[in-house]
Amino acid sequence: MAYITSRNGSRQPMFLATMSIFLLLSTIAVSLRLWCRLNYIHHVGLDDHFMFAALVVAISMGIMNGFHFRFAVYFVAAFVAIYTIIVFFVNAFECRDHPSHAWASDFPQGCNNLPATYFSTASINILTDVMILLLPIRSFSHLNLPRNKKWALLGIFMVGGIAVIASIIRLYALWVYTVTTDVSYDAIYILLLSQIEVNMAIISASAPALQPLFNKVFLSASYNR
């Protein structure tokens, strides 16, 4: 049986092209929306959170409706890269024209609405962490591997779940940061959880490449028994 292609009647290329273009446009629109909220209005409302959630749902629908896995990876990577650039400039100009206020004893007076900024970026971090964690799950069912190896590989990726847990707990650390009277002392929890999140994500992403080392260690151990 011959496959249906764009040359003999397939509408998949049209669907993928349309979906990709509009997902890209909606991502740019939502990113600019959040940037305007944080830099000009200095407040992110409930409608903005719902809009970001709608974007996540749209991306998820694209993946489930035939979004090629590699393209999905590129799309999520591009979104995270754009989001990181936006957050960098938001944080760099959190005190607008007076960056020295960030080091003043009365910080955050004279700066943007920092709690709203921090909670918004932390929430988006959680969503992107979950997206990255769940992205390869569907592909595991198509891997031509023994079941025990599939579960082992899935377990390695699930180590990245610790990064998600750390990013969720960081919301509480951010709340402590907003109500504390000693910022320099209590801000340590944000730094600790951020380090856990970043490094566990790196470990999880690097673990599959260590398979030759694991095979050598376990094979050597089995011979020594």
Instruction: Pick the last residue of a domain from 135, 168, 195.
Output: 135
Task: In whole angstroms, give the CA distance from residue 167 to residue 162.
Answer: 9
Do 103 and 175 lie in one domain? The reply is no
Cis peptide before 108 (omega within 30 of 0): yes
Based on the fold, state whether residues 128 and 192 are members of the same structural domain: no
Q: In which domain, by residue range, is 106 found?
A: 13-135
Asked if residue 209 and residue 106 are part of one domain, the reply reads: no
Give the angle subtended at the CA of 133 by the CAs of 130 and 136, to the nearest 5°.
135
Q: Are residues 108 and 160 in the same domain?
A: no
Per residue in 19-64, pLDDT (tens digit) is 677 777 777 888 777 777 777 777 777 777 777 777 777 766 665 5
CA 139 – CA 30 distance, rounded (Å): 28
Q: Is residue 2 in some structural domain?
A: no
Residue 3: predicted pLDDT: 44
4 assigned to some structural domain: no
Enumerate residues 6+ apart whose C-beta is below 8 A from 206. none
Spatial neighbors of 16 by CB under 8 A, at least 6 apart, are 66, 67, 68, 71
| Domain stop point among 95, 115, 135 | 135
Residue 56 domain-assigned?
yes
The token pair that represents 37 in the structure block: 């909220």
Give the distance from CA 7 to its chain's centroid. Answer: 37
- For the record, the structure tokens of 132 come out as 């990255």
Instruction: Tell me if 5 is assigned to some domain.
Output: no
Question: Is residue 101 domain-shared with residue 48, that is, in the same domain?
Answer: yes
118 and 53 in a single domain? The answer is yes
Indicate the angle between helix axes 188-206 and 161-179, nearest 10 degrees.
170
Task: Kindly state whether residues 45 and 149 are assigned to the same domain.
Answer: no
Residue 223: the pLDDT is 46
pLDDT in single tens digits along all 225 residues of the chain: 444 455 555 556 666 676 677 777 777 888 777 777 777 777 777 777 777 777 777 766 665 555 566 777 777 788 888 888 888 888 777 777 776 666 666 666 667 777 777 888 888 888 888 877 777 776 666 677 777 777 777 777 777 788 888 888 888 888 888 887 777 777 788 888 888 888 887 777 777 676 666 666 555 544 455
